[in-house]
Amino acid sequence: IVWIAYFVFFFLFSATMLFYGFWANGWFGGPQADLPESEYQPPQTFVERIRTCCGSCLACCRSCTSGHLCFWSMLLLAQVIVLLMFIISLVICLITGIQAFFGAGCSKIYLIGDAEVCSAVLGIFKVFLKTFGFEEPIEDTCFQKNLLTCKIIRDSVFHTAIFVIIGALLASVFSFQMLLDSAIKHERARCARIWEEEGFDKKSPPRITKALISSASRPTTLDSRHRPKSLIDIEGTTLISHVLRQLYRGGIQHIIFVVSHNGDAIREELQVCVQNLRQLRLEVIDLSQNYQGFYAASLLAAGEHCFADVGSPKKSKCHG
Protein backbone atom coordinates (compact mmCIF):
# COMPACT_ATOMS: atom_id res chain seq x y z
CA ILE A 1 0.00 0.00 0.00
CA VAL A 2 2.88 2.37 0.80
CA TRP A 3 4.46 1.91 -2.63
CA ILE A 4 1.10 2.32 -4.36
CA ALA A 5 0.51 5.59 -2.50
CA TYR A 6 4.06 6.69 -3.34
CA PHE A 7 3.69 6.18 -7.08
CA VAL A 8 0.15 7.60 -7.19
CA PHE A 9 1.28 10.74 -5.38
CA PHE A 10 4.18 11.40 -7.74
CA PHE A 11 2.02 10.59 -10.76
CA LEU A 12 -0.45 13.27 -9.68
CA PHE A 13 2.40 15.65 -8.87
CA SER A 14 3.99 15.20 -12.30
CA ALA A 15 0.62 15.49 -14.06
CA THR A 16 -0.08 18.76 -12.21
CA MET A 17 3.26 20.25 -13.23
CA LEU A 18 2.67 19.11 -16.81
CA PHE A 19 -0.73 20.80 -16.82
CA TYR A 20 0.81 24.01 -15.45
CA GLY A 21 3.43 23.94 -18.23
CA PHE A 22 0.71 23.71 -20.88
CA TRP A 23 -1.35 26.41 -19.15
CA ALA A 24 1.59 28.83 -18.92
CA ASN A 25 2.19 28.39 -22.67
CA GLY A 26 -1.37 29.40 -23.54
CA TRP A 27 -3.26 26.09 -23.49
CA PHE A 28 -6.45 25.54 -21.47
CA GLY A 29 -7.17 29.27 -21.38
CA GLY A 30 -3.65 30.40 -20.50
CA PRO A 31 -2.71 33.32 -18.25
CA GLN A 32 -5.19 36.17 -18.45
CA ALA A 33 -4.62 39.79 -17.49
CA ASP A 34 -6.51 41.18 -14.53
CA LEU A 35 -8.16 43.99 -16.45
CA PRO A 36 -10.56 46.19 -14.46
CA GLU A 37 -14.18 45.98 -15.50
CA SER A 38 -15.44 49.06 -17.29
CA GLU A 39 -18.86 48.97 -15.68
CA TYR A 40 -20.31 46.81 -12.94
CA GLN A 41 -23.31 44.78 -13.97
CA PRO A 42 -25.35 43.42 -11.06
CA PRO A 43 -26.49 39.79 -11.26
CA GLN A 44 -29.93 39.31 -12.75
CA THR A 45 -30.80 35.64 -12.34
CA PHE A 46 -30.71 33.38 -9.30
CA VAL A 47 -27.70 31.44 -10.65
CA GLU A 48 -25.75 34.67 -11.19
CA ARG A 49 -26.51 35.76 -7.63
CA ILE A 50 -25.28 32.41 -6.27
CA ARG A 51 -22.13 32.68 -8.42
CA THR A 52 -21.49 36.23 -7.18
CA CYS A 53 -21.96 35.16 -3.56
CA CYS A 54 -19.53 32.24 -3.92
CA GLY A 55 -17.03 34.44 -5.75
CA SER A 56 -17.16 37.03 -2.96
CA CYS A 57 -16.60 34.38 -0.30
CA LEU A 58 -13.62 32.90 -2.17
CA ALA A 59 -12.11 36.24 -3.25
CA CYS A 60 -9.32 36.06 -0.69
CA CYS A 61 -8.46 32.49 -1.64
CA ARG A 62 -8.48 33.34 -5.32
CA SER A 63 -6.12 36.27 -4.89
CA CYS A 64 -3.85 34.16 -2.70
CA THR A 65 -3.54 31.26 -5.13
CA SER A 66 -2.85 33.56 -8.05
CA GLY A 67 -0.15 35.49 -6.24
CA HIS A 68 3.58 35.07 -6.60
CA LEU A 69 4.06 34.32 -2.90
CA CYS A 70 1.80 31.27 -3.13
CA PHE A 71 3.56 29.97 -6.23
CA TRP A 72 7.09 30.33 -4.86
CA SER A 73 6.00 28.82 -1.53
CA MET A 74 4.58 25.80 -3.33
CA LEU A 75 7.73 25.60 -5.45
CA LEU A 76 9.93 25.51 -2.35
CA LEU A 77 7.68 22.82 -0.88
CA ALA A 78 7.97 20.87 -4.13
CA GLN A 79 11.76 21.11 -3.90
CA VAL A 80 11.59 19.54 -0.43
CA ILE A 81 9.38 16.77 -1.86
CA VAL A 82 11.84 16.18 -4.70
CA LEU A 83 14.65 16.01 -2.12
CA LEU A 84 12.70 13.34 -0.23
CA MET A 85 12.15 11.50 -3.50
CA PHE A 86 15.90 11.60 -4.14
CA ILE A 87 16.55 10.15 -0.68
CA ILE A 88 13.99 7.41 -1.33
CA SER A 89 15.72 6.73 -4.64
CA LEU A 90 19.00 6.26 -2.80
CA VAL A 91 17.28 3.88 -0.37
CA ILE A 92 15.86 1.90 -3.29
CA CYS A 93 19.33 1.70 -4.83
CA LEU A 94 20.72 0.49 -1.49
CA ILE A 95 18.04 -2.19 -1.13
CA THR A 96 18.61 -3.32 -4.70
CA GLY A 97 22.34 -3.53 -4.03
CA ILE A 98 21.76 -5.64 -0.90
CA GLN A 99 19.50 -8.01 -2.83
CA ALA A 100 22.10 -8.29 -5.56
CA PHE A 101 24.72 -9.07 -2.91
CA PHE A 102 22.58 -11.84 -1.41
CA GLY A 103 21.86 -13.19 -4.88
CA ALA A 104 25.56 -13.36 -5.67
CA GLY A 105 26.40 -14.81 -2.23
CA CYS A 106 23.95 -17.69 -2.33
CA SER A 107 24.88 -18.71 -5.86
CA LYS A 108 27.27 -21.27 -4.34
CA ILE A 109 24.43 -23.00 -2.51
CA TYR A 110 23.50 -25.38 -5.30
CA LEU A 111 20.62 -26.91 -3.35
CA ILE A 112 18.45 -23.79 -3.71
CA GLY A 113 20.06 -22.51 -6.87
CA ASP A 114 20.11 -25.41 -9.35
CA ALA A 115 17.00 -27.33 -10.42
CA GLU A 116 18.78 -30.67 -11.01
CA VAL A 117 20.48 -30.65 -7.59
CA CYS A 118 17.19 -29.70 -5.91
CA SER A 119 15.35 -32.57 -7.65
CA ALA A 120 18.12 -35.03 -6.70
CA VAL A 121 17.94 -34.04 -3.04
CA LEU A 122 14.14 -34.45 -3.01
CA GLY A 123 14.59 -37.90 -4.56
CA ILE A 124 16.97 -38.89 -1.74
CA PHE A 125 14.42 -37.74 0.85
CA LYS A 126 11.71 -39.81 -0.82
CA VAL A 127 13.85 -42.96 -0.66
CA PHE A 128 14.00 -43.18 3.16
CA LEU A 129 10.85 -41.20 3.87
CA LYS A 130 8.04 -43.26 2.38
CA THR A 131 5.38 -40.67 3.23
CA PHE A 132 7.40 -37.81 1.72
CA GLY A 133 6.02 -36.63 -1.60
CA PHE A 134 3.99 -34.07 -3.46
CA GLU A 135 1.22 -34.19 -5.98
CA GLU A 136 3.54 -32.91 -8.70
CA PRO A 137 6.39 -34.97 -10.10
CA ILE A 138 9.70 -34.53 -8.33
CA GLU A 139 11.22 -32.95 -11.46
CA ASP A 140 8.67 -30.11 -11.30
CA THR A 141 8.38 -29.79 -7.52
CA CYS A 142 11.25 -27.27 -7.15
CA PHE A 143 9.64 -24.95 -9.69
CA GLN A 144 6.05 -25.37 -8.50
CA LYS A 145 6.85 -24.86 -4.80
CA ASN A 146 9.40 -22.04 -5.45
CA LEU A 147 12.20 -23.90 -3.71
CA LEU A 148 14.92 -22.37 -5.89
CA THR A 149 15.31 -19.25 -3.74
CA CYS A 150 18.72 -18.19 -5.05
CA LYS A 151 17.63 -18.60 -8.64
CA ILE A 152 14.55 -16.45 -8.02
CA ILE A 153 16.60 -13.73 -6.31
CA ARG A 154 19.27 -13.81 -8.98
CA ASP A 155 16.85 -13.67 -11.89
CA SER A 156 14.59 -11.01 -10.39
CA VAL A 157 17.35 -8.76 -9.05
CA PHE A 158 19.90 -8.81 -11.84
CA HIS A 159 17.28 -8.08 -14.49
CA THR A 160 15.78 -5.15 -12.64
CA ALA A 161 18.68 -3.69 -10.62
CA ILE A 162 20.05 -1.58 -13.47
CA PHE A 163 16.62 -0.27 -14.47
CA VAL A 164 15.67 0.54 -10.86
CA ILE A 165 18.89 2.43 -10.10
CA ILE A 166 18.98 4.39 -13.37
CA GLY A 167 15.23 5.08 -13.29
CA ALA A 168 15.24 6.30 -9.68
CA LEU A 169 18.14 8.72 -10.23
CA LEU A 170 16.77 10.01 -13.54
CA ALA A 171 13.37 10.55 -11.95
CA SER A 172 14.93 12.77 -9.28
CA VAL A 173 16.97 14.76 -11.80
CA PHE A 174 14.05 15.25 -14.20
CA SER A 175 11.73 16.21 -11.35
CA PHE A 176 14.14 18.93 -10.25
CA GLN A 177 14.46 20.08 -13.87
CA MET A 178 10.66 20.17 -14.07
CA LEU A 179 10.57 22.54 -11.09
CA LEU A 180 13.07 24.87 -12.77
CA ASP A 181 11.04 24.77 -15.97
CA SER A 182 7.88 25.56 -14.00
CA ALA A 183 9.60 28.60 -12.49
CA ILE A 184 10.54 29.77 -16.01
CA LYS A 185 6.97 29.19 -17.20
CA HIS A 186 5.64 31.17 -14.23
CA GLU A 187 7.81 34.19 -15.01
CA ARG A 188 6.83 33.94 -18.68
CA ALA A 189 3.15 33.86 -17.74
CA ARG A 190 3.62 36.81 -15.38
CA CYS A 191 5.28 38.85 -18.14
CA ALA A 192 2.45 37.87 -20.51
CA ARG A 193 -0.08 39.23 -18.02
CA ILE A 194 1.86 42.46 -17.62
CA TRP A 195 2.13 42.93 -21.38
CA GLU A 196 -1.56 42.29 -21.84
CA GLU A 197 -2.46 44.71 -19.06
CA GLU A 198 -0.29 47.34 -20.73
CA GLY A 199 -2.06 46.73 -24.02
CA PHE A 200 0.86 45.13 -25.88
CA ASP A 201 0.67 42.07 -28.06
CA LYS A 202 2.54 39.11 -26.55
CA LYS A 203 3.89 38.00 -29.93
CA SER A 204 5.02 41.42 -31.13
CA PRO A 205 6.91 43.36 -28.41
CA PRO A 206 6.95 47.15 -28.58
CA ARG A 207 9.61 48.58 -30.86
CA ILE A 208 12.22 50.84 -29.27
CA THR A 209 13.07 53.83 -31.48
CA LYS A 210 14.61 56.26 -28.98
CA ALA A 211 17.87 56.01 -27.04
CA LEU A 212 19.60 58.15 -24.41
CA ILE A 213 23.41 58.39 -24.27
CA SER A 214 25.35 60.33 -21.65
CA SER A 215 28.98 61.34 -22.11
CA ALA A 216 28.89 63.79 -19.21
CA SER A 217 32.19 62.52 -17.85
CA ARG A 218 34.25 64.18 -15.18
CA PRO A 219 36.92 66.64 -16.33
CA THR A 220 39.73 64.22 -15.44
CA THR A 221 38.29 61.35 -17.50
CA LEU A 222 40.53 61.88 -20.54
CA ASP A 223 42.79 59.66 -22.57
CA SER A 224 46.52 60.06 -23.18
CA ARG A 225 45.86 62.65 -25.93
CA HIS A 226 43.74 64.76 -23.55
CA ARG A 227 40.56 63.96 -25.40
CA PRO A 228 37.31 62.61 -23.95
CA LYS A 229 37.30 58.84 -23.83
CA SER A 230 34.16 58.82 -25.96
CA LEU A 231 36.41 59.89 -28.89
CA ILE A 232 38.88 57.03 -28.66
CA ASP A 233 39.53 55.02 -31.82
CA ILE A 234 37.70 51.72 -32.22
CA GLU A 235 37.56 49.66 -35.42
CA GLY A 236 38.81 52.54 -37.54
CA THR A 237 36.37 55.13 -36.18
CA THR A 238 35.54 56.89 -32.93
CA LEU A 239 33.62 55.25 -30.13
CA ILE A 240 30.73 57.70 -30.54
CA SER A 241 30.40 56.99 -34.27
CA HIS A 242 30.58 53.23 -33.66
CA VAL A 243 27.83 53.34 -31.03
CA LEU A 244 25.55 55.55 -33.13
CA ARG A 245 25.92 53.29 -36.16
CA GLN A 246 25.09 50.20 -34.13
CA LEU A 247 22.01 51.86 -32.63
CA TYR A 248 20.91 53.06 -36.04
CA ARG A 249 21.23 49.57 -37.50
CA GLY A 250 19.14 48.27 -34.60
CA GLY A 251 16.22 50.52 -35.52
CA ILE A 252 16.92 53.53 -33.28
CA GLN A 253 15.78 56.71 -35.05
CA HIS A 254 15.98 59.31 -32.26
CA ILE A 255 19.05 59.67 -30.02
CA ILE A 256 19.38 62.10 -27.12
CA PHE A 257 23.04 62.83 -26.37
CA VAL A 258 24.12 64.47 -23.08
CA VAL A 259 27.47 66.29 -23.03
CA SER A 260 29.26 68.40 -20.42
CA HIS A 261 32.98 69.25 -20.50
CA ASN A 262 34.74 69.08 -23.86
CA GLY A 263 31.31 69.26 -25.45
CA ASP A 264 32.57 71.15 -28.52
CA ALA A 265 34.77 68.26 -29.69
CA ILE A 266 32.00 65.76 -29.11
CA ARG A 267 29.48 67.98 -30.90
CA GLU A 268 31.73 68.20 -33.95
CA GLU A 269 31.97 64.41 -34.09
CA LEU A 270 28.20 64.15 -33.76
CA GLN A 271 27.73 66.53 -36.69
CA VAL A 272 29.86 64.23 -38.86
CA CYS A 273 27.79 61.22 -37.77
CA VAL A 274 24.53 62.99 -38.60
CA GLN A 275 25.75 63.78 -42.09
CA ASN A 276 26.44 60.09 -42.72
CA LEU A 277 23.18 58.87 -41.13
CA ARG A 278 20.53 60.90 -42.92
CA GLN A 279 17.46 59.46 -41.23
CA LEU A 280 18.81 59.80 -37.69
CA ARG A 281 17.39 62.49 -35.45
CA LEU A 282 19.99 63.66 -32.95
CA GLU A 283 19.35 65.95 -29.99
CA VAL A 284 22.23 67.30 -27.91
CA ILE A 285 21.87 68.52 -24.33
CA ASP A 286 24.79 70.53 -22.97
CA LEU A 287 25.18 70.43 -19.17
CA SER A 288 28.49 72.29 -19.07
CA GLN A 289 26.87 75.52 -17.85
CA ASN A 290 25.74 73.88 -14.65
CA TYR A 291 27.93 70.79 -14.44
CA GLN A 292 27.84 70.25 -10.68
CA GLY A 293 24.06 70.43 -10.52
CA PHE A 294 23.28 68.23 -13.49
CA TYR A 295 26.04 65.61 -13.64
CA ALA A 296 24.63 63.23 -11.02
CA ALA A 297 21.12 63.38 -12.46
CA SER A 298 22.02 63.71 -16.12
CA LEU A 299 20.61 60.35 -17.15
CA LEU A 300 17.42 60.83 -15.18
CA ALA A 301 16.84 64.47 -15.96
CA ALA A 302 17.76 64.36 -19.63
CA GLY A 303 14.37 63.01 -20.60
CA GLU A 304 12.67 65.94 -18.91
CA HIS A 305 15.05 68.40 -20.61
CA CYS A 306 14.09 66.95 -23.99
CA PHE A 307 10.41 67.74 -23.59
CA ALA A 308 10.48 70.87 -21.47
CA ASP A 309 12.37 74.15 -21.64
CA VAL A 310 15.03 74.36 -18.95
CA GLY A 311 16.76 77.61 -18.12
CA SER A 312 20.21 76.51 -17.07
CA PRO A 313 21.16 73.73 -19.51
CA LYS A 314 21.92 74.79 -23.06
CA LYS A 315 20.02 72.67 -25.56
CA SER A 316 20.69 72.31 -29.26
CA LYS A 317 19.12 70.06 -31.89
CA CYS A 318 20.73 68.48 -34.94
CA HIS A 319 18.47 66.97 -37.56
CA GLY A 320 19.75 64.69 -40.28
CATH number at residue 246: 3.90.550.10
Query: pTM score, two decimals?
Result: 0.42
CA–CA separation, 280 and 297 (whole Å):
26
267 domain-assigned? yes
205 domain-assigned? no
CA–CA separation, 110 and 94 (whole Å):
26
Give the model's pLDDT for residue 198. 66
273 domain-assigned? yes
34 domain-assigned? no
Give the model's pLDDT for residue 52. 81
94 and 70 within one domain: yes
Which residues neighbour 51 within 8 Å (Cβ) at sequence distance 6 or greater? 43
Q: Could you tell me the pLDDT band of residue 310, with boundaries at 50, 70 and 90?
A: very low
122 and 163 within one domain: no
Q: Taking the CB of residue 213, how many other CB atoms lie within 10 A of it?
A: 18
For the ranges 17-21, 106-110, 233-237, which has the lowest average pLDDT? 106-110
Domain with 60 in it = 2-27+45-106+155-198
177 and 82 within one domain: yes
Contact between residue 129 and residue 121 where contact means Cβ atoms under 8 Å apart: no
What residues form DSSP beta bridges with 283? 256, 317
Q: What is the pLDDT of residues 231-285, one digit of tens each?
A: 777 777 777 788 888 887 777 878 787 777 666 777 777 777 777 777 778 777 7
Q: Could you give the number of structural domains in the chain?
A: 3
Average per-residue pLDDT for the chain: 70
Order of strands across the sheet with 314-319? 210-214, 254-259, 281-286, 314-319
